[in-house]
Amino acid sequence: MTVTRGDTEALRALQGLEDGRSSVRLRAALAVGTAPDPRFVDKLIERCAIEPEFFVRDMLTWALTRHPVSMTLPELVRELRSERAQARSQALHTLSKIGDRRAWPAITGALLCDPDEEVARSAWRAAVILVPDGEESALATVLATQLGRGERETQLSLSRAMVALGEAVEPALLAATTAPEPRTRTHALATQRLLRDPDAGFEFAIEEAKRVVALGGAGPEGQ
């Protein structure tokens, strides 16, 4: 069998993805995305699950977006069932970048409520991009169950996702402002504020919400 120059370059790129130096892996991912090849897809997805460097993972995602959706989407959806949290998280991130709504059925409630915060945050971001028209309110109801979860970065991610859904989140947020848990009420009130005034800033919105909750109120929406 004749080995072409293209075969040699493909082999070099695939080997580069496993190099111990992150700079080499980054260049290899760039090369793979620059010259897409069906033979790269499995290796790219496999590498996404274990790659420790953020910038390399981002380049791997970019490389996957350069390949036909018909090849990448089924494999990425399969990754959502992986036991490895990073595999699920990175697959969700890549699906959000591809933006093909055929992936929507795979964004399950289990992923939106995943115990791993990186997976959950990736699921929230993917969901608001992939949600079909008319499904926004149902998504908002699930997202509202996560209000109050985690620390600042996690709460900010959820607020941004909910705000991105627009007015469809208003009933779910209003219900959450009367939740028994103070953290849930605070986060709901802060998200309401951001929905009304996106320029308010998350820190300001949270501090204002904390004051309202401490005084036993539910904010303007609940008065």
Q: Tens digit of pLDDT for each residue in 162-193?
A: 999 999 999 999 999 999 999 999 999 999 98
Of 158, 172, 165, the closest CA to residue 114 belongs to 158
Instruction: Determine the residue type at 80.
Output: L
Residue 201 phi/psi, 5° resolution? Answer: 90, 135
Residue 101, token pair as written in the block = 């709504």
Instruction: Determine the residue type at 184.
Output: T
Q: The whole model's pTM is what?
A: 0.87
Name every residue whose Cβ is closer than 8 Å to that of residue 108 and which is 6 or more positions away in sequence. 80
| Calpha distance 126→215 (Å, rounded) | 36
Residue 55 phi/psi, 5° resolution? Answer: -65, -35
Q: Tens digit of pLDDT for each residue in 61-96?
A: 999 999 999 999 999 999 999 999 999 999 999 999
Q: Tens digit of pLDDT for each residue in 16-51?
A: 999 989 999 999 999 999 989 888 999 999 999 999
Q: Cα Rg for the chain, rounded, in angstroms?
A: 21
Instruction: Determine the residue type at 59.
Output: M
Q: Tens digit of pLDDT for each residue in 122-149?
A: 999 999 999 999 999 999 999 999 999 9
Question: How would residue 197 be classed by pLDDT, with cut points 50, 70 and 90?
Answer: confident
